Structure 1
Amino acid sequence: MDERSYLATWQKYMPVIRLHIKRSLTEDQQFKLNITDFESAGDKGKSGYMFNINIEDGKATNKISTSAVARDLYELLRADEVIRGLLKDKNVKISVGKSFILNIKTTHLSSYR
């Protein structure tokens, strides 16, 4: 597995991801990714590029270390100051399925946890 092979690919998408995370505060968001961008960054073969990231108050709550695609995206999300602010006190679910559409769903965390 190539270490951090998808960072440059995700970096290209960061402006649109930032916008969709902002918009996800009011309604669920989705947009189509270009599979060619990811295929040129690394060969996933039969395993594909599907993943789920559950982020609660800025921290991943599910295991993403086995997916280089998810791990690299999460690393960039954490490094982006604007996105870190948007993730505070929120539960954000980011996923990519077989159709290669990135979905973002955001809910506010209850203060009565």
Structure 2
Amino acid sequence: MEERKYLPIWKKYAPVIRLHLKKSNAEDQQFLLNKTDFESAGDRGKSGYTFNMLIENGKVVNNISGSAIARDLFETLTGDEYMKEFLKGKSVKLNVGKSFMLTIKTSHISSFKTVV
């Protein structure tokens, strides 16, 4: 398993992510990451740096175990008090595509979930 090499990069982006998370309440957010930052931390080769992460009520609900870049982002999000609090009661989808664009989509989780 990789040793949290993307954590310092995500911590550098934390203030920008915090701002975009807040804005994502109103509309989807996107911003371009610096490709060189990630490539200098580790060569992902053909697997690339892309990932999808779905967080519901502060917990990741999809499998990100194979993506060190996603795991380190989640650790950054939950290590910041504002972002950790923001994730409560919400469904937040984060993804990074091949162009290094981080997309954030936020919706509120209904407290009236239908029991099937």
* TM-score bracket for the superposition, by shorter chain length: over 0.9
When normalised by structure 2's length, the TM-score is 0.95
- 1:8 to 2:5 alignment: no
Give the counterpart letter for 1:3 in structure 2.
E
Query: What number of residue pairs does the alignment pair up?
Result: 113
Larger radius of gyration: 2
Alpha-carbon distance between aligned partners in 1 of 2:80 and 2:65, rounded to the nearest angstrom: 19
Alpha-carbon distance between aligned partners in 1 of 2:91 and 2:74, rounded to the nearest angstrom: 14
Alpha-carbon distance between aligned partners in 2 of 1:72 and 1:2, rounded to the nearest angstrom: 10
Q: Matches of residues 87-102 of structure 1 in structure 2 within 5 Å?
A: 87-102=87-102
Show structure 1 runs of 4+ deviating over 2 A: none
Q: Percent identity?
A: 64
Q: Is the 8 A contact 1:2 1:42 kept in 2?
A: no
SS in 2 for 1:75: helix
1:17-49 alpha-carbon deviations (Å, 9 max, x no partner) = 000000001100000001000001111011000
Alpha-carbon distance between aligned partners in 2 of 1:93 and 1:21, rounded to the nearest angstrom: 11
Question: What is the deviation of 1:99?
Answer: 1.3
The corresponding residue for 1:76 is: 76
SS in 1 for 2:106: strand
Question: What is the deviation of 1:2?
Answer: 2.9
Question: What is the deviation of 1:66?
Answer: 0.5
Alpha-carbon distance between aligned partners in 1 of 2:7 and 2:79, rounded to the nearest angstrom: 12
Question: What is the deviation of 1:60?
Answer: 0.3
Two-structure CA RMSD over aligned residues (Å): 0.8
The corresponding residue for 1:22 is: 22
1:65-112 alpha-carbon deviations (Å, 9 max, x no partner) = 100000000011111100011111000000001111000000000111
The corresponding residue for 1:39 is: 39
Give the counterpart letter for 1:93 in structure 2.
K
